[in-house]
A and B are shown apart, each in its own frame.
Chain A
Amino acid sequence: MMKSKLGALALITASAIALAGCSSGAAGGEAASGFDAAGAKGQDITFWVMGGDTPQELRDYLISEYKAATGGTLTIEEQSWGDALTKLTNQLPDAKNTPDVTEIGNTWSPTFTNAGSFTDLSPIYDDLGGDKLLKSFVEVGEVDGKQYALPYYFGSRYITYRKDIWDAAGLTVPTTLDEFNDDVAVLKTSSQSGFYLGGEDWRNGVSWTFANGGELATKDGDTWKSSLSDAKTVKGLEQFQQVFSDASNAPVTEKDSTPWVNINNDRDGAAPEAATMIAPGWAHWSVGDFTGDKVDDAGQVVLDANGAPVETRTWNDATFGVFPLPGNDGKPAPVFAGGSNLAISKTSTKQAGAKELLRIVFSSEYQQMLGKNGLGPANTDEVSSLGDDQFATALIDSALHSKLTPAAPGWAAVEGKSYLEEFFGKVAAGGDIKALAKEYDEKIDKIING
């Protein structure tokens, strides 16, 4: 009884606040689609982050800043990348269960923005950074010139290699892709991959396609078409097939995984599995000499999702080095940009609070915090916060030439059906590239336009 009375009281208070918010918003002449600081007062909102990429320090900052700005509580829920697409699909349309703000893989953005899952952010776009926000990420979240999803952070893939192993073989940092392909082939032995690349790891494998001017899909008028059979794409795929068989001991079935474990000596000092790997920029925190298991504040060993202890690794310049994957034109090869976008769920009943959170995310302070943690900030003015060490340099160099997946409405379905894992896996296994490309072009064309 007491509870329901309290509940009723809370409801009345909440509606009073909401009503107050409405009236003051109207008085300010501000349309509902812009910021509404008064309306945001006391709104408790939920923010979904994907995986562990947003460090705890940044989460704490968001929660305390949100409290200071609105008095409301920000709940941050971490979703695993593997389930996120399904959870978003199921919960975004449901006002009772939707996250108010969500991080979203940039390659999924077009599907959701075209379907109308997100709030139109164009009224606040300029306030959040406008033209200064990373262009390719803004574009992937645009429909008819309106922004529905904005960049959160970017990463880019670059090469991490074992200086000691490369030196011992008398090799130096390659300047062209052909040279790279030859070098890593030399380094392969039965117990060591010259270059660790999974067969189904299309997100890294596609770099060879991009480097040869190939694309995964192209837009003709209003329709997207899968372009795996394109001559340039095929040429890149042939190189990928060659590199995989010449340099990698990874299984055909290996996906976008945790390649850094292969380049480290194991915790007992045993030789690494690989001399070279490619991974998103934030991987360098996991590369280095083993310096004990990670312990939390209470002195407990931290375990990963598989129940194994999380190792702490300390970078060692004598053993490890980084460079962007070189192209054959003297510039870094275009790699697949990693990173995320941010959006507000259209069904959320707390639009005002959600927009206040975006204001905090796109503030200069938070953008710099992203950079200091090795995540490419959305606002290009803040890129310098990444620093000027070798990681920042490799990240920025490779990001400048990075590409995104096609902004096609059906792209999330293409990824959902794992067509590209399947296709790259079959190519890596030595399949007939032209026949496979034709087969998968047909499959992808059926769903790429939504």
Chain B
Amino acid sequence: MTSTLQRTPRAAITRTAATNRRRKAFAPYMFLIPAIGILLFGLGYPVIWQVVTSFQKYGAMQQLGGQAPPFVGLDNYIAVATSPEFWGVAIRSIVFCVVTAAITLVIGMLLALLMTAIGKASRLTLQIGLLLAWAMPVVAATTVWIWLFDRRRGAVNYLLDLIPGVDMNRFDWLGTPSTFFIVASVIIIWMSVPFVAFSAYAALTQVSEEVLEAAALDGAAGWQRFRSIIFPTIRPVIAIVLLLQLIWDLRVFTQITILQDAGSRSADFDLLGTYIYKSGVAGLDFGQGSAMALFVLALTIALSWFYIRSLLKEDKQS
């Protein structure tokens, strides 16, 4: 009797728990449906259109004249793959994005470390400054940067010219691809550093003070503490910030377009974003533009793959 009495409630509890668990397992999917629906509708449709278009001849006659676009198989892909100009732009874009993202990350992390080291007042000043840079509209900021680098009246040339032995009078920063991309990189780094700095700073606040103190007592120097304690703790945050920077810098468009308006419109000054726009939209060849855009999508997925795989691995371990 006593045993049944004891057993019944336990069984009841288990049953309720099981139903709860089942309900719990079901509910999250329900909540996901609207989000997935919106994603599929918002992202799926353009991607499908793009995939279809990349196999079609889709030019002015199709876009403006309403003619049915004929399917041309892999023609667009072959044309893109055999174009040395496209590969030039693609390689340039990858180098540009890796270098820019790496420098952004280093400067951002240094600023974050600085924030942990300085007093409250200076930290607030620094944070407000970074926030302002982050909040500045891209077009406005890029325009001001163009003024700074202006050939005739720019502050950069003026200041460099003051250095004895340096002749930068009327140096045309936007005139050659190499200096053009240095300017572009500086602008993009300036715009992206705040995000990296804030993310890294937030992560740094999670580093355990006790562990650091113990390490210091054991005689670990600054660099050793950073390498063995701080960096492993903030690594997940840094990894995702780096991934986001890489993706953003690969797709950079606005800054390059505005710089091209002030400088050259030649393809030597293009990155993938502007090149695809120029050939696909302005050049009225939507088919080839789509094929190139899908190449960039594949590139982005390839870049993200390493990150997603390491995420999955960490998931399994925990």
Cβ contact of B60, chosen from A200, A412, A417, cutoff 8 A:
A412
Most buried by A among B64, B261, B269: B64
Cβ contact of A116, chosen from B64, B172, B278, cutoff 8 A:
B64
Q: Which residues of B contact A251 (CB under 8 A)?
A: 151, 172, 174-175
Cβ contact of A200, chosen from B143, B172, B264, cutoff 8 A:
B264
Q: Which residues of B contact A116 (CB under 8 A)?
A: 64-66
Q: Which residues of A contact B284 (CB under 8 A)?
A: 89, 111, 410, 412-413, 416
Q: Which residues of A contact B61 (CB under 8 A)?
A: 114-115, 450
* A377 at the B interface (CB under 8 A): no
Q: Which residues of A contact B69 (CB under 8 A)?
A: none
Pair A447/B283 contact, Cβ less than 8 Å: yes
Interface size band for A: 20 to 34
Pair B63/A418 contact, Cβ less than 8 Å: no
* B154 at the A interface (CB under 8 A): no
Pair B143/A413 contact, Cβ less than 8 Å: no
* B281 at the A interface (CB under 8 A): yes
Q: Which residue of B lies closest to A89 (CB)?
A: B63
Pair B60/A253 contact, Cβ less than 8 Å: no
Q: Which residues of B contact A86 (CB under 8 A)?
A: 281-282
B226 to chain A, nearest CB (A): 43
Q: Which residues of A contact B60 (CB under 8 A)?
A: 89, 111-112, 114-115, 409-410, 412-413, 450
B204 to chain A, nearest CB (A): 38
A92 to chain B, nearest CB (A): 6
Q: Which residue of A lies closest to B264 (CB)?
A: A253
Tally of A-B Cβ pairs under 8 angstroms: 92
Pair A115/B143 contact, Cβ less than 8 Å: no
Assess A93 versus B175: contact at CB under 8 Å? Given A306-B143, A417-B279. Answer: no
Assess A421 versus B264: contact at CB under 8 Å? Given A86-B281, A115-B60, A450-B61. Answer: yes
B12 to chain A, nearest CB (A): 53
How far is B268's CA from A426's CA once the two chains are assembled, in angstroms? 11
Q: Which residue of A lies closest to B278 (CB)?
A: A417
Number of interface residues of B (CB under 8 A): 28
* A159 at the B interface (CB under 8 A): no
Q: Which residues of B contact A38 (CB under 8 A)?
A: none
Within 8 A of A (CB), among B261-283: 261, 263-269, 278-279, 281-283
Pair A425/B266 contact, Cβ less than 8 Å: yes
Q: Which residue of A lies closest to B268 (CB)?
A: A422
B80 to chain A, nearest CB (A): 13
Q: Which residues of A contact B151 (CB under 8 A)?
A: 251
Q: Which residue of B lies closest to A416 (CB)?
A: B282
Within 8 A of B (CB), among A87-128: 89, 92-93, 111-112, 114-117
3 residue pairs, one from A and one from B, having the closest CB atoms: A416-B282, A253-B264, A115-B64
CB within 8 Å of B: which residues of A?
Answer: 82, 85-86, 89, 92-93, 111-112, 114-117, 200, 251-253, 255, 273, 306-307, 409-410, 412-413, 416-418, 421-422, 425-426, 447, 450
* Contacts A111-B284, A447-B283 known; 6 new A-B pairs at CB < 8 A: A251-B151, A413-B59, A413-B283, A416-B278, A418-B266, A422-B268
